Structures are given as C-alpha cells and as structure tokens.
A and B are shown apart, each in its own frame.
Chain A
C-alpha cells in the first residue's frame, strides 16, 4: 500500500479544498492516521473507497474518543528591570487547549487485502459544535457503530439515516463514555429501610417523602 503521505497528496488533489493532516503515532504499532476536515470528509472518504489503488471497501471499526480541555503551562523568560537591576524573570502562563470529540474509522480493503488507513474526524468542541458528517451513506457498516458513538459520546452525525440511542435506553439524557461523566446516584434505587439509601432517595426526590 502507498504511504500515508502519498494517500494524503492524492486525496488533496482529487478533492479540491480538502485539508488533510497526518497524525503520527509514536507507539511500536506505527499506525498513523489522517485527520480530515468535516466539510470534505464525505468526499475524501468516497475517494478512499473508490480509488482503484486503494479500494478501502471495508470499514472495520468506527469509534469515538473524548479529549477533555487541556491546560498547557508555558514559561517565558523575559528581561525586566527590578529594583534597578536587570534580571531574567520567568513568567508562567496557563493556556487552555479546548477539548473536542473525535470519531476514528479504521478502513481496510477486502479486495486488495491491505490496511488499515485510519481516518479521524473532529468536532469543534465538546458542547454545541458536535456535528460531523456520517459515513454511513458510504459504508453501511458504520450504521450501528455511529449510533453507538452518538449514544455514548454525543457526536451528532449529519446524514445518518437512523440516529437513535442504541445501547442506553431512549429516555437517558447524558453520554456515559465522556470522560467527565458522573454517575447519577438514583439508578433504579428501591428505597429499602437502610438509612443511607433513604437519605439518598430523599435528596433526589425532595417532594416525595
């Protein structure tokens, strides 16, 4: 199979305007991945599927990843005059790198028996800009997996034919695979005559006593 750089160059030539990045993986597996912008993701994925040299006809695995906001500490050394003496002063500042949700697709070719090419699509943030295009119109195999990502991570796949919860029940509100998810403490509690449980139930249902 071609190297990821070659795939990237050809995809950028085939899909005008597409911005692709290569994310290097430093582990011994050396499975590097392609980061695709959301606007051209469907066209780039279509190119990967239909290009005669790649023929990535098989979407093996689709999954979500949650990246929380990160704090990056930066220290700069500046020269300042303090009490009439010139000194090097170290100024540390904390910069917050905004978090995002990510959908990762592992593509293989059943016809040419190569792979994987790993595609990554990223949302704008973790709260309101969580739409990314669905790849289900290209690979039907993404249907249930994208539903699972929506269910557990809260990524909205635009263009998905049937985006509903799949593992959690329909009335459930949160997305349990997110890193900052906190378990509610009232899951199907049957108040039993234990003080602790009764207290907890009272906290949750203050109106009923």
Chain B
C-alpha cells in the first residue's frame, strides 16, 4: 500500500482532494497483524528503566526491527485539568510545578502568562528580567540532564549523567535560595514574582553562569566526536521537516529538523525581543542533531543570561493592579504560550467571571511530540527505540497530566 492510499483510508474518504503533508506511516501497520509470521509483539515498559517514567510502548518486532510501535500512557494520569477547574486560579500555580517537574519555573511562567493575558496584567520590568533569568537557568539544567540521560540510554552508564547532574545541582541551589524549593519552585505570580532576589543571589548566579561554558567544553569534547555516540545517533530516527511541522512538533526536536521556529523569536513574550541570541537549526533531523540542538541552545541561553544579568533594573516585582485575594478575571478566554525547554508549553483558560477557571487546559509539549514516535522508530532496532525516545525528551508528569 502506498502512502497515498494509506492517507485516503486515514482520512475516512472525504473529498480525497486535500493533500497530505507527510508520507507515512501507513495506518495499515497499526491494525493488528493477524497471520503474524515470525512477528513478535512485546510490551516495553511501563517499568522499563529506559522509558523515563511509567511509559509503555507496544512494539511489534520482525527479528530485531520495529514494524509497529504504539505508545501507551496514562499511568500517571490524575486529571490535572479537572483539578485546575476545581480550584482558584492561584491554587493551580503550585500544581503546575508537577507537570514537567524538571522545569517548574517555565511551567509557572506559561501559566502566569496565560492568566495575565486573560486578566490584562503585566509584570513590571524587574520581574520580567527575573523571569528570563530563571527560565534560562531552567533550560540550562534541563538540556544538560537530557544530554546525560541520552548517553545513559546508550549505555554510557553514569559518567556523562553525573557530570550533568553536578552542574544541575549548582542551578538547583540557586533555585533553592531564591524560592525555597529545589524543584517545586512555585515562584511566579499573576503580574510578577513571589519574592525579590535575595542579597548576593545575582553574584552567585553570575559565577554559576560564568563557569557553565567550562562544563560545556568538557561535555562536548567528551562526546561530540565520540565514535560510539556518532554511530548510535547519526541517521537514526530521522524526522522529516514537513512531517515535523504537520505533526505540531515543537522545541529542539522541531529545530533539529531544520524548521526555524522558536517562540522566543516568532512571538516574543516577556522581554525576549531585547536580547541578542541565535536559534540553532539542524539539517538532518536525526538523534545526533537533536542532541546538538540542546548543546547549542545551552550556549545561546548563556548569552541571554549574561545580557539579562547585566541589564536587570531595580524596582517593584508585582503589578500593582494584581489582586491575590478575590481574583476574578472577567469572562473571556486566553491562550498563552512560551518556548519551554521541551517545546511549546501553552495554557488555555476560559473564565466565566468566577474565582475558578471554567476551563483550564495545558498544551503539553512532550505529549504532542510523542505523536511521531512511531514514524521515527519504524525500521530501526529495539536499542534505537530507546535512544530515539530519549532524544524526544519526555517527562511523564506532563505527558499524562
């Protein structure tokens, strides 16, 4: 069956005139293979250590090759959105930390941004700078860990991961002294931030950021040209450009396929239009490019951090219009989105004028990036599935919500 036929089946007939932007996969593969001559159906996960949490893949194998792969999730599902509808706007803020528990500060920012759009608030200058600094620090530690986990998945037990965790620890110390928590920061508020920077924090942060390139040099010289890394990742899990766009892939995975789309540039939120930085792009769309995107993005984040820490002004950190108690935005709706470390993180809120949102929706990047997992894995070995999954960078707290 050609991909065109597969599309017509997939599209349920229709007019049959709408062009298809991606070439595969053939949905026929998804129906169960009855006369399974030598095909082996295995369930990878949910307790498999390489699946980064409770995530399962139903894999059909022909020998060592993947012929079908269906992701199965929901093991951590607690209906975050329903809980969000049952609590006040501010009550959901600490709970957003638990979505992508590596990046609580960017989760906070995305939620605060959506509510600010809904209620017409704007964070003052100093709070905007603090937001940029904390978000970019979050990006640094997320990408560093991704590199470590990816290598761990390839069998480089421990060493790269521990190097990454050593750096992450320094950043988490900064978060702890700022917010009181290492991971569940619950720091941002609608119209600003919860508390100002403690004395000496900026100097400490400057030291961490100044030392970070040394770690990157070490990490890159250890890995970039490593023969095992290159042979395990180059040409593996290729994601074509058109499919990436059509399947709503975002973040470093999208840019590794050569699509120049970073929300910090395309629709600058906060004060990102003030900083000079570049958007790294890949041209193969394979696992190696996705790894390199993270490394290059860390270098760009350092540039943003240096500029932000040099220019941060004094002043208030909360919008005076913002109300903490009795916060009731007028009826209406808003969709706010940011470029999170894993991709576009959006919050869609509908208000009916009551203290609780009428609809509270999270647009989770790692959930949607899994759409193409099957397309990337078809034809590869089982061991490559692990690496491809690692390069997508998922966190199950966000996938399952």
Contact = CB atoms under 8 A, between A and B. Distances in A.
Given A27-B330, A137-B10, A113 B248 contact: no
A60 B18 contact: no
A29 B14 contact: no
B371 A137 contact: no
Interface string B245-262: 111110000000001010
B246 A27 contact: no
A10 B330 CA distance: 32
A135 B249 CA distance: 16
Contacts of B77: 167-168
Interface string A129-158: 000001011111111110000001000001
Contacts of A61: 335, 337, 346, 348, 361, 363
A75 interface: no
A139 to B, nearest CB: 6
B79 interface: yes
B246 A141 contact: yes
Interface residues of A, number: 47
Nearest to B10: A161
B368 A144 contact: yes
A42 to B, nearest CB: 6
A139 B11 CA distance: 11
A152 B362 CA distance: 14
A27 B333 contact: yes
Interface stretch (B112-120, B131-139, B200-208, B295-303): B112-120
B275 interface: no
A162 B30 contact: yes
A41 B9 CA distance: 19
Contacts of A142: 248
A92 interface: no
Nearest to B78: A167
Contacts of B18: 42, 46, 137-138
A167 B344 contact: no
Nearest to A181: B82
Chain A CB within 10 A, most for which of B15, B81, B248: B248
A29 B118 contact: yes
Which one of A27, A43, A136 has the greatest number of beta carbons of chain B within 10 Å? A27
A115 to B, nearest CB: 8
Contacts of A63: 348, 359, 361, 363
A137 B334 contact: no
B383 interface: no
Nearest to B400: A167
Interface in B274-301: none
B11 A137 contact: yes
Contacts of A31: 117, 333-335
A144 B370 contact: yes
B334 A57 contact: no
Give the 4 A-B CB pairs with smallest separation, nearest first: A27-B332, A141-B248, A28-B120, A159-B12
Interface of B: 7, 9-15, 18-22, 27, 30, 73-74, 77, 79, 81-82, 117-120, 243, 245-249, 259, 261, 266-267, 329-337, 344, 346, 348, 350-351, 359, 361, 363, 367-368, 370-372, 400-401
22 contacts: A25-B332, A25-B333, A25-B334, A27-B120, A27-B329, A27-B334, A29-B332, A29-B333, A29-B335, A31-B335, A42-B15, A57-B21, A61-B363, A137-B18, A139-B246, A141-B368, A143-B247, A144-B368, A152-B79, A159-B11, A168-B74, A168-B77
Given A63-B363, A65-B350, A168-B74, 9 more contacts: A29-B333, A139-B248, A140-B247, A141-B246, A141-B249, A144-B370, A167-B74, A176-B82, A177-B79
